[in-house]
Each structure stands twice: as C-alpha cells, then as structure tokens.
Amino acid sequence: MNRTESFAGEALQVVRGARSGVAIAVAVHSTERGPAIGGCRIKPYPSWRDGADDALRLSAAMTVKCALAGLPYGGGKTVAALPPEGIGKARRPELIADIADAISALGGRYRTGPDIGSSSEDMAVIHRLAHGWAFCRPPDQGGSGTSSAATARGVLAALQAGVAPGSVAGLRVGVIGFGSVGRLICEALIERGAEVVVTDVDSGLRPVAERLGATWTTADLLREPLDVLVPAATGGLLTVESAAACGAGLIVGPANNQLADEKAETVLRDRGITWIPDVVASAGGIIHAVGREELGMDETAANAKIDAIADTVSAVLALARERGLPMSRAAREYAAR
Ligand code: PHE
C-alpha cells in the first residue's frame, strides 16, 4: 500500500448494512459542479476493500463524465460488495433498504442510478426510502426509466464521430457484450448497413443476435480484424497485452473503465488505433436521466444533448492530435476547461 498517496475524492463512506450484513461503499468524488451522481453496482467482490476501491475509481470517472457532458453534477458511485457466493434472492430487499440508508446518510450530496446488478425497480425503492435521491425509476412510477436506449444512442453518436467523415455502412464492427445496451447498438448498426459480429458469455443469447442479423462468434473479438470494436460488457479489457494484439482501427463502447492499464493507451496509439474513452462515449444514460428528471428537458432536448457527444468526441480527438496527448489525458483536459 502506498501510504503517502493523498485522497483525491471528497468522501468515502463504508457501512455494513444493518439488515443484510453486506458492505456498502459510497464514494463521493466531487460535488464542485453540483451533487455527485453515479450508479449503484451490486456484485460479488473478493473483499469489501476491492468494492471500496472500485467505488473510488468509478466515482472519479463519473466526475469527468459529467463535466464532459456539460452537466451540473459531480461524480459518485455506490458499490455493494457481495460475498463471493452472492446473497439469496430473499435477502435482496434488505440489501436495497440498506443501500437507501447509506445514501440517505450523505444528506443529498449523492444521488444514485442503475448500474451492474441494479434495476429501475431498485431505483424506485431507493427513491421512496432515500428522499428521492435515485434516478431512472420506471416511467409508470414517475422516473425516466432504464437508461439503456439513451446510452446506446450516445455510443452511436461517438462511433459516428470516430469514423467521420466516413459512414458506418459497410464497416465490420465487433460488439463484445449482448446485454441491453450492446443489443441496441447491434440493432442500430445493422440498420445503418454495418456488418456486425457479436459475442457474449451467455451463449443463450445467440438466437436473438442472429435474428437481428448479427453474426455470433465465440472468438476473442479483441484479436479479430475489425474496423470498429465496441466494448459493451464489463470493464478492464484494455491491457498492454490486449492492446498489442488488438485488430481494430477504432475502439468505442459503453463499458465503464475500459483501460485496465494506462500503458495500454500508449500501445494503442503507437499502433494507430483510436480509442474513444468510455467517459465520453457512455454519457448518454446520465444525460437522459438528469435531463428528463431534473433539468426540465423534454425527449427531443435530451436526445439533442446526447447527440452532441459527437461534438465532444471530435473536440477531444482534435486536442489529442494537436498536442500529441493520449485520449484519456485529452478528455480530462477538455473536461477541466
Ligand atoms: N450506470 C449509470 C452511471 O453510473 C447510472 C446512472 C444513471 C447514474 C443516471 C446516475 C444517473 O453512469
């Protein structure tokens, strides 16, 4: 452990859920621009410390994401670190109530949303128990609903900017992850004439993908020759090794924290591969949620703001090229402006 490392965030609260016994970490990275926002991740971790670490890392990324999207919010994140064996379904309501308590305790400095392992329905419960500090409740309960479609829309805008002035038609695109967002991205790309190859750990999704017109593969798409690679599963796929083996020309997708190692970015750059940081490409979900629920935007206005992700991508690309910066640096510098 590096004992001289200073704490870059504002607060890290870790509680042991009174009902569930689960360790819940809420990281507030910054409230400088407004309340901290960030999803609620519920998944097994080897230890609570790993969960707290993840909350810290993800909350910092949320600060940059909000700033790049031009939103008056800061970054935060909740991680409920389940034991490796998970918790039974029956205990889940206890856990959600514990999470609501943890969010309440922060007094409004942080508001949550759905993330890996949590749903719109969970947000409805947290909204009710924690003073309304949760986005994305189901529309019939007054919320803006799941943010999947908005996230997919933002990724498509970023992808289009990444291939500009060319078009998506005729490109060979590999999508890793056929979850709710990955699937919408596949659908839209096929509609626009791209050739889509997709993979997912859940092989049961294969018929659905094929019905859309995508080609299913079990190969490692990272190594396949592709025009575009879309990481739409969990993060951390870009290591020095995978960057050296990557066969794509452009990498852009919604997965959070794609860069497992800063050095991977240098490898990508040296090989002429453009990586559009997830903090830029994945902002559609938060833009839609806060736009609709708190900033008074209608659907048209929210969509226009999501489509403007394309302009941010172009600006960050230009800054990176002009100053010879890695994309993540360029994104942070652009955010700081
Ligand atoms: N997974 C989204 C995120 O962390 C969840 C979210 C949506 C958070 C809306 C806040 C508001 O980016």
Question: What CATH number has the domain bearing residue 330?
Answer: 3.40.50.720
171 and 264 inside one domain = yes
- Of 111, 138, 165, the residue at which a domain comes to its end is 138
Give tens-digit pLDDT for 74-91: 999 999 999 999 999 999
- The predicted model scores a pTM of 0.94
- Distance (angstroms) between ligand 1 centre and the Cα of 326 equals 26
Q: Is 38 close to ligand 1, i.e. is its CB under 6 Å away?
A: yes
Residue 297 lies in a domain: no
154 and 274 inside one domain = yes
Cα within 13 Å of Cα(321), Cβ side: 11
**Number of structural domains the chain divides into:** 2
C-alpha span between 157 and 205 (Å, rounded): 25
Domain containing 208 equals: 148-282+311-336
- Distance (angstroms) between ligand 1 centre and the Cα of 37 equals 7
> What is the best residue among 26, 28, 37 to mutate for testing ligand 1's pocket, by most ligand atoms within 8 Å of CB?
37
Q: Is 289 close to ligand 1, i.e. is its CB under 6 Å away?
A: yes
pLDDT class of 108 with cuts at 50, 70, 90: very high
- Distance (angstroms) between ligand 1 centre and the Cα of 7 equals 23
Q: Using an 8 Å Cβ cutoff, are 198 and 182 in contact?
A: yes
Q: Is 114 close to ligand 1, i.e. is its CB under 6 Å away?
A: yes
- Distance (angstroms) between ligand 1 centre and the Cα of 219 equals 31
Q: Is 28 close to ligand 1, i.e. is its CB under 6 Å away?
A: no
Give tens-digit pLDDT for 123-172: 999 999 999 999 999 999 999 999 999 999 999 999 999 999 999 999 99
**Which residues are tagged catalytic?**
77
Q: Is 147 close to ligand 1, i.e. is its CB under 6 Å away?
A: yes
